[in-house]
Amino acid sequence: MTDRYALIGHPVGHSKSPLIHGLFAQATAQDLTYTAIEAPLDGFADTLASFRASGGRGTNVTVPFKLQAFELSTDPSETARLAGAANTLKFVDDRIHADNTDGVGLVNDLQRNLGHRLAGKRVLLLGAGGATRGAILPIAAEHPALFAVANRTAARAHALRSAFAAHTVLQTGGLDELQGESFDVIINATSAGLTQSALPLPDSIFAPGALAYDMVYGKGLTPFLRQARAAGVSTLADGVGMLVEQAAESFTIWRGVRPDTRAVIERLTVPLV
């Protein structure tokens, strides 16, 4: 019998996840289907329960339901627990296993695909929302020399320093405190790229040979990447690799088989122009 998986979110019409998981299934000879389900904003729990009752084996969860997915889980991973959010659910009997694969997907893209090892590097995450929370543990596990989080509202960044104090040491502050600082890897985890908004960042944050990475994908050169290029950064990347790598982690959790990602990333890549 064909196993069923799905993405649940609102909206989901733009999602590449069905294509990605379809390509993974084809490449690994897995008998499964993967669909996108748009849940009402007040109906995530009912939608999830209905999919489980119909024989669904697991789901990805996207905005705005990642917090609810975590809350409904019975067996969250440490990464999901600290993030307070889950993007991957696996149903086993009456249990709901939850994980957050976004951060692992980011690190895999940075290191495997882009060749930027994080060990010993100065790393800056911009933003203090769910994307940042999911990325902190996987980045910290690579032992950067300095790990900083900066946000428009400094208090939110400081809250992350406290929340993760038992796991890593974070340098935190406001975007207005970055003057004179420089980093080897700068990751925009804010939603500014979706709205084509510029962040108030000093050019000094981009160290010589730095990588500038925007988690937004498929938008070409976002304002953040444009600023990085204007500041002399030659290595620019958007989040398409992260999208595919986090999907591969979810696929592995469900199926016990890790698909190759490179061909799928190449297929989905939009030139940064």
Rounded Cα distance, 98 and 269, in Å = 29
Stretch (H or E) spanning 4: strand 3-9
Read off the DSSP letter of residue 239. Answer: T
For residue 205, give the nearest of 157, 148, 132 by alpha carbon. Answer: 148
- DSSP string for 36-103: EEE--TT-HHHHHHHHHHTTEEEEEE-TT-HHHHHHH-SEE-HHHHHHT--SEEEEETTEEEEE--HH
CB-side neighbour CA atoms (13 Å) of 4: 12
From 66, 90, 121, 219, the catalytic residue: 66
Reply yes or no on whether 219 is catalytic.
no
Rounded Cα distance, 182 and 114, in Å = 20
CB atoms within 10 A of CB 155: 10
Residues 126 and 152 sit within 8 Å (Cβ to Cβ): no
Give the residue numbers marked as catalytic. 66
